[in-house]
Amino acid sequence: MTAHLPMIGRRGLLLGLTAGAILGRSRLALGAGPAGDSRLVVVLLRGALDGLAAVQPYGDPALAGLRGPLVLPEPGRDGGVLDLGGFFGLHPRLPRLHAMFAANDLLALHAVCGPTRSRSHFVAQDMMEFGAERRLDSGWLNRALAGLPGHETAATRAGFALGSDLPLIMRGAEPVGMYAPSRPDLPSPDLYARLLEINHADPLTGPAAEEGLRARGFTAGLVPPPEQRGGFVRLASAAGRFLSAAGGPRVAALEISGWDTHAGQQARLRGVLGQLDSGLDALRERLGPAWARTAVLVMTEFGRTARVNGNEGTDHGTGSAAFLLGGAVAGGRVMADWPGLGEGRLYEDRDLAPTLDLRAVAKGLLRDHLGLSPAAVAAAFPGSEEIEAKGGLLRA
């Protein structure tokens, strides 16, 4: 990947970013990285990832009865999930994440949820990014930047976002960088599919849209051609490049949409999970030696219904899965206080019940990974004193 990303924010950030300097400094820093050299990346999955599909609890006896056609074969079978230690299995379109799991770089978190129980994408995404149960004037990652040790004397902005618009999680008083892809960021295959759906019945735009997608190489199932799969991969790869620089930014946010799988979930998830898998692997690769000091939190606003709906899809739910990955992460395991899917175990008799608030994970990362003081962690997540920072996320 050699995607060129022009910078919208401050130009000085990239000065001195020569390959030699990066490598030299990184090699030096390896092993005993100084405090304040850790990297944090937050990846927002907008649209609500079906956690039960991404990290399938194949050991739960109630699973098959709830979601029949959505259940993938057990590990070892043809097209089966990739085993995560005997009860959970990773979706087969996440082979690179599975390799990270094998290298103890990936921690899967299950039955997690954001601050709200709203099933509205917009409310739940906002609250996940505010880091609170109510609206604030800034995002938690922006507030966290203010608490970074050495923040007062730092010459460069510590945080940046990739995409065409600054996500709420990064908005606030703290100045952050912003990078937009030079090529236009195109709609995801799933969004094209929905655009096609609403245009389908139109005698003018419908046939043209269908023909146009075919001409661009989308096949009937809306599988995009290779050159259109790369949006997130490019962004993630660029994030890795920026974060690998010594003295450069340390905190990044990026996002990937296309998770709202109300119909035909199997086909739709394959594409977007594949992008996520390739993108996160590109991030790892680009970070190079800095991967060892990196933690990547991948999270979504809520999960999806435990039961399959009438369109071989799932509707808005509550508990989902999240991932924490990176060389700094104590991975190779699944962290879950598993509520079970059986009779009486579902939240409001429809959703995976959440047993872990993602704020606990985020607080743990701010404290143990970025080295924020207790006061700075509290400032990043106001009004959540009862939610304790999760320990044990990182390698000792």
Partner 1 sequence: MISPGHVAALRFGLGPRPESPPPADATGWLLAQLEAPPDQAMPPQDWEQDPSLADVMALRLLDRRAPRPMGEKSRAGVLYDLERPAYLGRLIATPTPFRERLVAFWTNHLTVSGRDGQTAPFIGDYVRQAIRPHVVAPFAAMLKAAIRHPAMLLYLNQAASIGPDSPAGRQTGRGLNENLGREVLELHTLSPAAGYSQADVTEFARLLTGLGVEPVREPRGTVFFPRNHQPGDKTIMGRAFPPGAASIDAALDWLAGHPATHRHLALKLARHFVADDPPPAVVDRLAGVLHDTGGDLGAVTREVVALPEAWERSLSKLRTPTELGVAALRALGAGPEMAAEALRVGNTLGQPLWAAPAPNGWPDTAAAWIHPEGILARFDQMHAISGQFSRKDAKDALDLALGPLASEATRAAVLRAGSNREALTLLLGSPEFQRR
C-alpha of 123 from chain center:
18
Query: Cα–Cα distance between 266 and 261 in angstroms, integer?
Result: 8
| CB closer to partner 1, 258 vs 327 | 258
N residues, the chain: 396
Only one of the segments 192-200, 284-292, 329-337, 340-348 lies at the binding site for partner 1 (rule: CB under 8 A); that segment is 192-200
- Of 74, 202, 348, 388, the one binding partner 1 by CB under 8 A: 202
Q: To which residue do tokens 């047993």 refer?
A: 355
Identify whether the C-beta of residue 320 lies closer than 8 Å to the C-beta of residue 50: yes
**Ramachandran region, residue 29 (left: φ > 0; alpha: ψ -120 to 50; beta: rest):** alpha
Q: Which sign, positive or negative, has the C-alpha torsion 63, 107, 189, 214?
A: negative
| CB closer to partner 1, 89 vs 303 | 303
6 interacts with partner 1 by CB under 8 A: no
The three-state secondary structure class of 153 is helix
| CB closer to partner 1, 101 vs 130 | 130
Nearest Cα neighbor of 368 from 391, 334, 336, 387 is 391
209 interacts with partner 1 by CB under 8 A: yes
- Of 32, 201, 220, 396, the one binding partner 1 by CB under 8 A: 201
Around Cβ 370, how many Cβ atoms within 10 Å? Answer: 24
206 interacts with partner 1 by CB under 8 A: yes
We find the least distance from the C-beta atom of residue 168 to partner 1, in angstroms, to be 7
We find the least distance from the C-beta atom of residue 99 to partner 1, in angstroms, to be 28
Site for partner 1 in 233-262 (CB under 8 A): 257-260, 262
We find the least distance from the C-beta atom of residue 212 to partner 1, in angstroms, to be 4
| CB closer to partner 1, 115 vs 331 | 115
Sheet of 89-90, strands arranged across: 55-56, 89-90, 82-83
We find the least distance from the C-beta atom of residue 320 to partner 1, in angstroms, to be 13
C-alpha of 395 from chain center:
21
Site for partner 1 in 167-186 (CB under 8 A): 167-168, 184-186
Nearest Cα neighbor of 317 from 305, 309, 308, 307 is 305
Query: Cα–Cα distance between 284 and 242 in angstroms, integer?
Result: 12
We find the least distance from the C-beta atom of residue 8 to partner 1, in angstroms, to be 11
Site for partner 1 in 39-58 (CB under 8 A): 46-48
Only one of the segments 165-173, 236-244, 279-287, 329-337 lies at the binding site for partner 1 (rule: CB under 8 A); that segment is 165-173
C-alpha of 169 from chain center:
13
Q: What is the dihedral of CA 233, 234, 235, 240, to 10 degrees?
A: 90
Site for partner 1 in 212-231 (CB under 8 A): 212-216
20 interacts with partner 1 by CB under 8 A: no
- Of 21, 64, 102, 208, the one binding partner 1 by CB under 8 A: 208
The three-state secondary structure class of 43 is strand
Query: Measuring CA to CA, how many Å separate 168 from each of 65, 122, 331, 351?
Result: 38, 11, 28, 27
| CB closer to partner 1, 262 vs 390 | 262
3 interacts with partner 1 by CB under 8 A: no
Give the total of residues touching partner 1 (CB under 8 A). Answer: 40
| CB closer to partner 1, 197 vs 388 | 197
Q: Between 111 and 150, how does the x/- string for binding to partner 1 read (CB under 8 A)? A: ----------xx--x-------------------------
Site for partner 1 in 290-329 (CB under 8 A): none
Q: Which helix (H) or strand (E) holds 333?
A: strand 333-335
Identify whether the C-beta of residue 262 lies closer than 8 Å to the C-beta of residue 298: no
Query: Cα–Cα distance between 346 and 75 in angstroms, integer?
Result: 25
| Binding interface with partner 1 (CB under 8 A) | 46-48, 121-122, 125, 163-165, 167-168, 184-187, 191-192, 194-195, 197-199, 201-202, 204-206, 208-209, 211-216, 257-260, 262
